[in-house]
Structure 1
């Protein structure tokens, strides 16, 4: 059995909208990271992804499945149990995602400054 996902795996102050690379959708890269150590159930994936709704998580997982990054497997048993796992294609994203995460860490202040500047421009235009 895998260790539980860390609820603090992603910094709540780190909006995924600042991610310089998108896989599937806003949550895709983070889902790939959550699945790096092996298959996970839907409820497990919600733990580190604070703020994601069940509907959005379902949609994101379907997008990753459609794009070939994730498989969805119904596990036989008395209770309905579904697990999500990375495909070989999905697993091949881990190394580039590690590089992007390292780059984002080095340029975090610049990314935040750019996001703040864009927000301020939007406020000025709206006036």
Structure 2
């Protein structure tokens, strides 16, 4: 199991954004499920701030896969969440809970994450909170 990816997800579950950022390269490319690629730690920090305002999430049933000598990794997990504040263009938030399978893919260099790609089924999430 990739220790950097594990540390990243452990930090996510603690809500510890500085510890998540410590796992990332300065020029990290963040491919969100819906939207444009975001590049850099500052943009990632802003994304985390937005997400923390709108959602409270814990990842469970985590399985982390390693490949290519530690330069690539993937994970599958369940997102257990509460929708806290309405996110632009999405249904109104009323404290709804959701449970959603998701996955992430990573590229790593020198022990840091240089690329994060996250996928989940937005239609499933929308149905759960509508």
The two structures have a TM-score, normalised by structure 1, of 0.29
Bigger Cα Rg: 1
The structure with more helix, counted as a fraction of residues: 1
The two structures have a TM-score, normalised by structure 2, of 0.28
The structure with more strand, counted as a fraction of residues: 2
